[in-house]
């Protein structure tokens, strides 16, 4: 199985109301230094509307660039609808909303 397929399988396991970071997904996929490759895999989502790429953020809890997922506002709205907790500065509260990844 290739790296991207591993990434997609892991992302499918992130439950609603939780998020993961690019680096966390890279680590779980067996390539801890491949956070950028995870971002690229999210950008080329083969199953829009099914694969929950909107649940993957950078290590600071920030939304994806505006050209992905319909923009940061769209991503934020999806996460809010799922119950993800945000900080006052607009970032996701990773301490409260980050997925533990134990069920990979």
Angle at 50 between CA 95 and CA 26, to 5 degrees: 45
Q: Which of 10, 28, 42, 53 is catalytic?
A: 53
Taking alpha carbons only, the member of 68, 69, 71, 64 closest to residue 91 is 64
d(CA 76, CA 1): 32
What is the sign of the dihedral through the CA atoms of 95, 16, 87 and 91?
positive
Answer yes or no: 74 catalytic. no
d(CA 72, CA 27): 24
Task: Indicate which residues carry an active-site annotation.
Answer: 53
């Amino acid at each position: 199985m290739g790296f991207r397929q591993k990434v997609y399988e892991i992302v499918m396991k992130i439950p609603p109301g939780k998020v993961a970071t690019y680096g966390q997904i890279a680590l779980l996929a067996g390539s801890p230094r491949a956070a950028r490759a995870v971002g690229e895999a999210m950008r080329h989502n083969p199953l829009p509307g099914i694969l929950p790429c909107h649940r993957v953020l950078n290590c600071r809890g920030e939304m994806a660039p505006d050209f992905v997922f319909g923009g940061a506002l769209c991503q934020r709205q999806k996460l809010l609808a799922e119950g993800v907790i945000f900080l006052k500065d607009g970032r996701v509260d990773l301490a409260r909303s980050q997925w533990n990844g134990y069920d990979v």
